[in-house]
Amino acid sequence: MNDKKLKDLLKEQKQPDFRLEQITKDIYQKGIFDFDEITTISKDLRKILNEELSILPFVIKEVVISSDGRAIKALFELEDGNVVESVLISPKPETWSACISSQVGCAMSCEFCATGKLGLGRDLTTDEIVSQAIFWRGYLRENNIVGTYANIVYMGMGEPFMNWDNVKASIDILTNEKLGNFPNRGISVSTSGVVSGIKKFADECGQINLAISLHFATDEKRDKYMPVNKAYNLEALSESLRYYLAKNNRRLFIEYIMLEGVNDSDEDARLLVSYLKSIGKKQLVIVNLIKYNSVDDSFKPSSKKTVMHFKELIKSGGVPCTIRKSIGDDIHGACGQLVGKDKCK
Ligand code: SAH
Ligand code: SF4
């Protein structure tokens, strides 16, 4: 929401100083998107505010719910006509996580990712990022969905570290006690390996979780499938992660998509363990094995058996490893499937 405009309007209407805090609290902490629902202010003021200001900087074009009810995808049309997607996922009963976008499309061109195939549209503004998270808070309330809104993950469309200023500002708003009031530890940012961003993150966001989309443990493969590696190779990445771990004694999440015949052999597991050991503090590093969600015919997901075996190899190398369940792929709301249009119709 445009807080400055709200502040000016309230001043114009000669409202007392506490009014701004009262209204913003309802918007951010209850997820209210219509001034008419803010019943602590007069009808006349509600009418004026509704005429002059819209709380969300986008229109909700569509909301699609997965067959098991554990993933809900929303399509937002921004004021300039661009569209972005955001997903609410329930990884365990009565717990909800919002997966939000930081850019329209993405410039990083990872071969396996649907968003990457779009190229970059533009960066999202701070307000557009924050409003996705606030939208889900309101959605849960309005639909009487039980459970805690526990996590916000920057794993939707876009590379957060290529839009760092706005992403950082959005984190500040979401964690501000008087605004979003989300716990720092419930927020995670995922990067494909933008080293300059990792360093800034280490300096500026000590309490927020960091996830690295590693996927390949050799420069040869990473260069081939993730062009970001040409700018920041594995050694540069490892150095930035050492810096991060030295500054913040926090868990570091390593994302690894399992691609049949590409990165799922015993040798790949060995190389992954050895790379992660080079970062040090291996008790803080945790590998999440991710099922590849189909984007086109270039890749196939590894079989369940291979994934289980790979997990055991990583664990026997002394690195904690989990298999991440894929939620929401029937609504194209799973990782790497967000493209800003609804393919379910
Ligand atoms: N751009 C950031 C954050 C968004 S991507 C990043 O890359 O980290 C969210 C996660 O989905 C990343 O780990 C990404 O590598 C993964 N992903 C991309 N395409 C995928 C696919 N087709 N199947 C499964 N995961 C995918
Ligand atoms: Fe961009 Fe992340 Fe997709 Fe790579 S995986 S193209 S960085 S959104």
pLDDT reading at 277 higher than 60: yes
Shortest-distance atom of ligand 2 to CA 117: 6
Ligand 2 pocket member 115 (CB < 6 A): yes
Distance 313 CA to ligand 1 centre (A): 23
Supply the pTM of this predicted model. 0.95
Give the residue, by CA position, lying nearest to ligand 1 atom 5: 155
pLDDT reading at 342 higher than 50: no
Q: Annotated catalytic, 335?
A: yes
d(CA 174, CA 134): 9
Distance 166 CA to ligand 2 centre (A): 18
pLDDT of 337:
67
Contact 174, 152 (CB under 8 A): yes
Confidence of residue 340 (pLDDT cuts 50, 70, 90): low
Ligand 2 pocket member 113 (CB < 6 A): yes
Ligand 1 pocket member 258 (CB < 6 A): no
Give 170's contacts (C-beta < 8 A, 6+ positions apart).
Answer: 126, 129, 130, 133
Whose tokens are 């997990």? That residue is 311
279-298 pLDDT, tens digit per residue, is: 987 779 999 999 998 888 89
The helix or strand, by DSSP H or E, that contains position 197, with its residue range, turns out to be: helix 195-204
Three-state DSSP class for 153? strand
Shortest-distance atom of ligand 1 to CA 326: 24
Angle between helices 234-247 and 195-204 (to 10 degrees): 0
Ligand 1 pocket member 335 (CB < 6 A): yes
Ligand 1 pocket member 159 (CB < 6 A): yes
Contact 291, 255 (CB under 8 A): no
pLDDT reading at 345 higher than 60: no
Ligand 1 pocket member 295 (CB < 6 A): yes
d(CA 101, CA 138): 18
Contact 211, 156 (CB under 8 A): no
pLDDT of 330:
75
d(CA 301, CA 299): 7
Q: Are strands 103-105 and 120-123 parallel, antiparallel or unpaired?
A: antiparallel
Options 52, 79, 85, 128, the catalytic residue = 85
pLDDT of 334:
62
23-62 pLDDT, tens digit per residue, is: 999 999 999 999 999 998 999 999 999 999 999 999 999 9
d(CA 64, CA 75): 9
Shortest-distance atom of ligand 2 to CA 114: 3
Distance 283 CA to ligand 1 centre (A): 24
pLDDT reading at 235 higher than 90: yes
Ligand 2 pocket member 120 (CB < 6 A): no
Shortest-distance atom of ligand 2 to CA 190: 2
DSSP state of 28: I
Q: Any idea what the Cα angle at residue 284 is, between residues 148 and 231, rounded to 5°?
A: 100
pLDDT of 344:
30
Tokens found for residue 234? 């594995």
Q: Are strands 83-92 and 71-78 parallel, antiparallel or unpaired?
A: antiparallel
Distance 113 CA to ligand 1 centre (A): 6
Confidence of residue 135 (pLDDT cuts 50, 70, 90): very high
d(CA 34, CA 27): 9
Give the residue, by CA position, lying nearest to ligand 1 atom 9: 155
Give the residue, by CA position, lying nearest to ligand 2 atom 8: 158
pLDDT reading at 343 higher than 50: no
pLDDT of 189:
97
pLDDT reading at 338 higher than 70: no
Ligand 2 pocket member 106 (CB < 6 A): yes
Neighbours of 280 (CB within 10 A): 14
Ligand 1 pocket member 293 (CB < 6 A): yes
| Helix ranges, 187-233 (H) | 195-204, 219-225, 228-231
Options 99, 110, 113, 335, the catalytic residue = 335
Average pLDDT, the chain: 93
pLDDT of 294:
86
Confidence of residue 341 (pLDDT cuts 50, 70, 90): low
Shortest-distance atom of ligand 2 to CA 192: 7
Ligand 2 pocket member 101 (CB < 6 A): no
Confidence of residue 3 (pLDDT cuts 50, 70, 90): confident
Q: Annotated catalytic, 21?
A: no
Ligand nearest to the CA of 210: 1
